[in-house]
Every structure is written in C-alpha cells, then in structure tokens.
Amino acid sequence: MVKEIQLRIKLKEEKIENILIKKAARVLKIDTKEITGVKVLRKSIDARKETIIFNYKVAVYIRQKLPESSTYSFPYKDVSSAKEIHIIGFGPAGMYAALRCIELGFKPVVLERGKNVQDRRRDLKAINQDHFVNEDSNYCFGEGGAGTYSDGKLYTRSLKRGDVRRIFENLVYHGATEQILIDAHPHIGTNKLPKVVKNIRETILKHGGEVHFETRVTDFVIKQNKLCAIQLQNGNEMTVNSVILATGHSARDIYELLHKKEIALEAKSFAMGVRVEHPQHIIDSIQYHCQGERDELLPAAAYSLVHQVKDRGVYSFCMCPGGFIVPAATANGEVVVNGMSPSKRNNPFANSGIVVEINADRDLHKYEQHGVLKGLEYQKDLERLAFTAGGRSQVAPAQRLTDFVEGKLSNSLNDTSYQPGLKSAPLHSLLPKQIGGRLRKGFAAFGEKMKGYYTAEANIVGVESRTSSPVNIPRNDNLEHPEVQGLFPCGEGGGYPGGIVSAAMDGERCAEAAIEMLQ
C-alpha cells in the first residue's frame, strides 16, 4: 500500500528520514514498523513567520518495497538511416526537439551557430577579461543556448503545456541531480549544466542524429510557399523536409532575415530594466528573520517581487541567490547583463533582474518606422546606451540603489560579482522615463514590502534587456508558420514559452508536429 501525505517539520529537526517516518505513522495512525520506506515527492520552505517550516509531500510505503527506478523510460532508436528533421539552434527547445525526434524514429540534424560547451568557455573568458564579444559564441549562443551558462533554473508555470515531470526525469537521465525532482524551485547550477548538455549531445550522436557546431544559417530557400532548403554561412546549402526554428530570443539576424523576405512577423510585448545586486546576507536576514549568518540547513534566500506603476508591471526576473552577474551581449558595441548561480549558491551576492513591462502597441511610438522590429530596435538602443555609459567596453554602468531612486550620481559603488567591472553612471536620467521612472517607484515600493531591501549596500547594473523576444514568429494550430510550409517556430526565439522547461516542452511539441506533417 502507498499513501501520499503532506508533512510540516520545524527547521531545528535534522534527522529527516526518521522524523518523516514518525510523523507519517502519526498521521496515518499506524505503527512505524509497518512503514517500509518514505519517498520525498516535493520539498519547500515556508519562511513567512519566525519559525521556519520545511513542507514535505511524501509517498509512504506500507508493507511494500520502494521502487528501485523511475517509471519513466526513454526508448531512443537508431535513426542513422531515418528521414531527417532539421533543427536550427541547440538550446533547450532544440535539444528536446532532437531527443523527441529520436524517440519517434526520425533523424535530427542540428545546426548550431555557436561552439560546443568546452570550446565556448574560451569565448566567455574573452568577454569577461578582454571585453571582446564573439558574435556566434557567447553567453547566449553555443551548445545548450543561453540556459547553459544561466544557471539552470527549472521552475515553470507551464504545467498545462506538457509533461513537466518527463522533462525533469530526462535531465536526471542525462546526469542532473535527482534533487530537481523534489525541490519546489529546482535548480541545476551553471557549474553542472555543461556536463548535462554534453550528455544530451552524446545521446543524439549515439543514436544516429547529427549536431553541427559553428554552422550559422544565413538564408531560407522558399518555393511556392514551401521551405525547400537552407543556406549556411560557409556557402553550403541543405535540402530540407521540415525545419524547427529554435534560435533563441537573441538571434536578431534571423528576425531581420525573415522580415527582409517578407515572411510574417509580429511585434510582441516584452520587459526591460536593470540587475540589482545585494550582499546575500541582507536577503537572508530579510527572508529568514535572522541576524548574521543563516542556519546551515537553509539555502541562500531568494525573493519574488511585483508592483504596478502607471499601468505597467515592475517585477523581479531570474532571481539568482548566491550568484553572480554576467555579460550577456551578443555583439560588440552593446552591454547586456544577466544573472546565474552555481549549484551550491554559495557566492556572497544575490542578484535579480528588476524589469518593466513594455507594451509593444502603446510604448514604442518613436520606433514605429521599424514596424514589427520596433521592440528589437528599442532593445538595441538601450544596450548601446549602456555600452557608452560604461566607457565603451563590457564595463557596465551602475549606481547605488538609493542614489538611483533619489536621482543622485554615486560617488562610489559597492563590491560586485560582475567580472568586467562597473562604472558609476546616472542611470536615473539615462534610462527612458517609461523604464527609469517606473523602476524608481518600484524599488521604493519593494523597500516597503521587504524591510532592508532598499539600501545603499545594493548596486543596480544596466541593462537587463533580454528577458524575452520582442518579436513573435506566428504559427497555426499545427505549430507551423501560416505562410511557410515546413517551418516550425519554436521556443523563446519564436516568441513562445521561455525558460528551460517550457522551451523544452515546446521543442517536443514542435518535433511531434514536424513529424506529423511528414507522415
């Protein structure tokens, strides 16, 4: 017999397995000797009150052995001689599209403009130390996409779009920790993700798929509204049956190519703002109601904030406890910041994007001449502004949080995790009013919601501009572009689900749709 129950345990209680068995026996009104095992299904922390509680959802096995393995299996087939599906981009959407193709007996041919995870590291080092951006290999482009070096947060609200558990189990199958199956806000860590990504690539190759790095797509050959071939930067041309377009939210050249070829696109609302960085101990003290260091049983504290300012949301995005800020530009002449955390989340800083909603229909009047690419051009302008304000390198413009809200230039800045360095700049006046003005009011409101959050010990760093795509590539009910047969826009690059798990599920769905068209 197996029973699922909810249990609450105070922080001070440490021998968790014995405690779970005792509490389960009490709840079920049975002797502890009848319980043959307890399996944790979900774990979360409730820190809203002084007494911190661990919440557990557990399966209690009564006079029955615990299962030795997962109920999920991944029956990958040999597809070396099978019909081909071409996939452009090898981020989460592209990877899971490729894996799904293999499960269904089709051969994925993946084309990735960037390098593999190992070679990609040298280009990340060049950005941080030499301030040089390789436009095809950086924090956004390369094996695993932006997610590989953006710490692997797996939380998603897209529970109706697919089997979330299946995505998690597949990550474990490829080397991720089983802890992601349990935690309420699962996370792999930027130090662990490259190995998982490499294992996924090896699975694809082992079963007859192809993965081509440093292979940028530069054109589409379309005849009678059907995608017939793709042209590569090296001059080669590939004949195609179905193409899954999973290029990520920063592949601006793809949007520009589609627009030039008069293939339908749509402007999409998005969000932009800054990164705010606090010492982690400040966030811990707020969230855990503690003075000094947090209890060793507790993880680095996170937060989630939202406030409405003049009919627009101001909210936290991609919060990274115990993390660091990284340069996420995809071209020289721009500064973009993002955040990530290692698996242990043991860095002394906490950072989060704090961004403002940008309504594509109401907020971009000065960019109407750019048509459906107006949001993209708006992004570019703010990234160039950050580049200039930082001193025309990957040094980022920054300001103390209190100075930003009060409209004063910072005479000095706090220590930071951002390797290229910071330069004091008047972001309160440099940012467009629709962003800067709302951010200032938002930060003041956050200080009321989290006492201690509004502090001169925090820096804000600009700009956080790549939260999502400002362009949508439309698709019909069959997930195919309505004007181009054989083209399946996918994941964040198409303006669809963002984040690792949501993009992965969309990749699987697009693979199924592309295969359905060929059958």
Nearest-angstrom CA–CA distance, 513 and 491: 14
* Residue 236 in tokens: 């080669």
Instruction: Specify if 79 maps to a domain.
Output: no
Strands 306-309 and 312-320 come out as antiparallel
More reliable by pLDDT, 290 or 350: 350
Please check whether residues 387 and 420 belong to one and the same domain: yes
Cβ pair 330, 135 in contact under 8 A: yes
pLDDT (tens digit, 9 = 90+) per residue, 193-209? 999 999 999 999 999 99
Nearest 5°: phi and psi at 511? -60, -45
Instruction: Specify if 386 maps to a domain.
Output: yes
Instruction: Specify if 76 maps to a domain.
Output: no
**Is residue 70 over pLDDT 80?**
no
Instruction: Specify if 67 maps to a domain.
Output: no
Instruction: Specify if 165 maps to a domain.
Output: yes
Please check whether residues 112 and 55 belong to one and the same domain: no
Please check whether residues 283 and 237 belong to one and the same domain: no
Q: In sequence order, what are the beta bridge partners of 398?
A: 424, 461
pLDDT (tens digit, 9 = 90+) per residue, 346-365? 999 999 999 999 999 999 99
More reliable by pLDDT, 274 or 290: 274
Please check whether residues 110 and 165 belong to one and the same domain: yes
Helix (H, G, I), strand (E, B) or coil at 137: strand
Residue-by-residue DSSP string for 379-446: HHHHHHHHHHHTTSSSPEEEEEHHHHHHT---SS----S-TT-EEE--HHHHS-HHHHHHHHHHHHHH
Please check whether residues 19 and 91 belong to one and the same domain: no
What is the mean pLDDT of the segment spanning 104-120? Answer: 97
In CATH, what number is assigned to the domain containing residue 40?
Answer: 3.30.70.2700
Q: Is the peptide bond before 133 cis (omega within 30 degrees of 0)?
A: no
* Its pTM surpasses 0.85: yes
What is the dihedral angle through the alpha carbons of 374, 432, 249, 460, rounded to the nearest 10 degrees? 180
| Block residue for tokens 């054109």 | 219
Please check whether residues 244 and 255 belong to one and the same domain: yes
Cβ pair 402, 320 in contact under 8 A: no
At 159 the pLDDT is 54
| Block residue for tokens 């606090």 | 278
Please check whether residues 102 and 186 belong to one and the same domain: yes
Q: How many domains does the chain have?
A: 3
Asked which of 215-229, 287-301, 331-345, 397-411 is least confident by mean pLDDT, the reply is 287-301
**Is residue 81 over pLDDT 70?**
yes
* Residue 63 in tokens: 């006079």
Nearest-angstrom CA–CA distance, 168 and 178: 9
Nearest-angstrom CA–CA distance, 141 and 138: 5
Task: Spell out a b/e string for 198-226, using b for 16 or more CB atoms within 10 Å of the CB, else e.
Answer: bebbebbeebbbbbebbbbbeebebeeee
Please check whether residues 457 and 487 belong to one and the same domain: no
pLDDT classification of 111: cutoffs 50, 70, 90: very high
Please check whether residues 329 and 420 belong to one and the same domain: yes
Helix (H, G, I), strand (E, B) or coil at 374: helix
Helix (H, G, I), strand (E, B) or coil at 278: strand
In CATH, what number is assigned to the domain containing residue 95?
Answer: 3.50.50.60
Cβ pair 493, 93 in contact under 8 A: yes
pLDDT classification of 168: cutoffs 50, 70, 90: very high
Nearest 5°: phi and psi at 341? -135, 145
At 14 the pLDDT is 57
Asked which of 49-53, 75-79, 427-431 is least confident by mean pLDDT, the reply is 49-53
Q: Say which residues have a Cβ less than 8 Å from residue 77's Cβ, sequence separation at least 6.
A: 102, 103, 105, 207
| Block residue for tokens 């899971």 | 96
Please check whether residues 384 and 287 belong to one and the same domain: yes
Helix (H, G, I), strand (E, B) or coil at 372: helix
Nearest-angstrom CA–CA distance, 198 and 458: 36
**Amino acid at site 456:** A
Instruction: Specify if 361 maps to a domain.
Output: yes
Domain of 201 in residue numbering reads as: 84-265+473-518
Nearest-angstrom CA–CA distance, 382 and 432: 9
Instruction: Specify if 70 maps to a domain.
Output: no
pLDDT (tens digit, 9 = 90+) per residue, 446-476? 999 999 999 999 999 999 999 999 999 999 9
Asked which of 10-19, 71-80, 289-298 is least confident by mean pLDDT, the reply is 10-19
User: Which candidate, 517, 515, 504, 510, places its Cα nearest to that of 165?
Assistant: 504
Please check whether residues 335 and 392 belong to one and the same domain: yes
Instruction: Specify if 69 maps to a domain.
Output: no
**Is residue 64 over pLDDT 60?**
yes
Cβ pair 294, 345 in contact under 8 A: no
pLDDT (tens digit, 9 = 90+) per residue, 438-451? 999 999 999 999 99
Please check whether residues 280 and 423 belong to one and the same domain: yes
Helix (H, G, I), strand (E, B) or coil at 18: helix
Nearest-angstrom CA–CA distance, 401 and 17: 44
At 10 the pLDDT is 77
Q: What percent of the chain has pLDDT over 90?
A: 84
